[in-house]
């Protein structure tokens, strides 16, 4: 027996939404690839060209994702922001611990900047993906 709340409403599973989750995964893949490339060269000074290109592409992808997400009108924004704020808090704590590790290990200069930016993209992207994944299946008030 289905709940009356969900019985006579729009099809929440098959409705058309932008590919926010897929774009978020692409952004994470770019950042992870850049991080792996940099880590493969440590403890020596890694070449930053490829890592910077991957970082810029990841930022462009995240901004595109935010724009696509912001254009949604019939969306469970309450659920989105509820999940986003708590998962963002968790990822900011994780990112802060990782940033401490970078500094404690002696990472400095441009390498620290690129790694910190990659970490920031990841820390924003994952909560957005989690929040979207929850809110897309919630009924719109």
Tallying the residues shown for the chain, one arrives at 141
Alpha helices in 8-70 (DSSP H): 20-41, 49-70
The confidence band for 12, taking pLDDT boundaries of 50, 70 and 90, is low
Say if residue 139's pLDDT is above 80.
yes
Angle between helices 49-70 and 109-135 (to 10 degrees): 30
Nearest Cα residue to 101 out of 115, 121, 87: 115
Nearest Cα residue to 37 out of 28, 26, 27, 49: 49
Mean confidence (pLDDT) of the chain: 89
Give the per-residue pLDDT at 55: 97
What is residue 45's three-state secondary structure?
coil
CB atoms inside a 10 Å sphere around CB 44: 6
Give the per-residue pLDDT at 108: 87
Q: Which two tokens stand for residue 19?
A: 């590919």
**What is the model's pTM?**
0.84
């Amino acid at each position: 027996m289905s709940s009356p709340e969900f019985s006579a409403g729009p099809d929440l599973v098959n409705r058309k939404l932008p590919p926010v989750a897929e774009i978020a995964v692409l952004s994470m893949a770019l950042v992870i690839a850049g991080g792996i490339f940099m880590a493969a060269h440590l403890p020596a000074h890694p070449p930053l060209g490829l890592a910077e290109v991957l970082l810029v592409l990841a930022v462009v992808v995240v901004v595109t994702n935010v724009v696509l997400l912001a254009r949604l009108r019939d969306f469970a924004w309450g659920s989105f922001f509820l999940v986003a704020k708590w998962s963002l808090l968790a990822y900011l704590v994780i990112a802060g611990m990782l940033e401490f590790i970078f500094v404690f290990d002696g990472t400095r200069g441009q390498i620290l900047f690129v790694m910190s930016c990659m970490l920031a993209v990841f820390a924003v992207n994952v909560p957005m993906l989690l929040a979207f994944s929850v809110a897309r299946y919630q009924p719109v008030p």
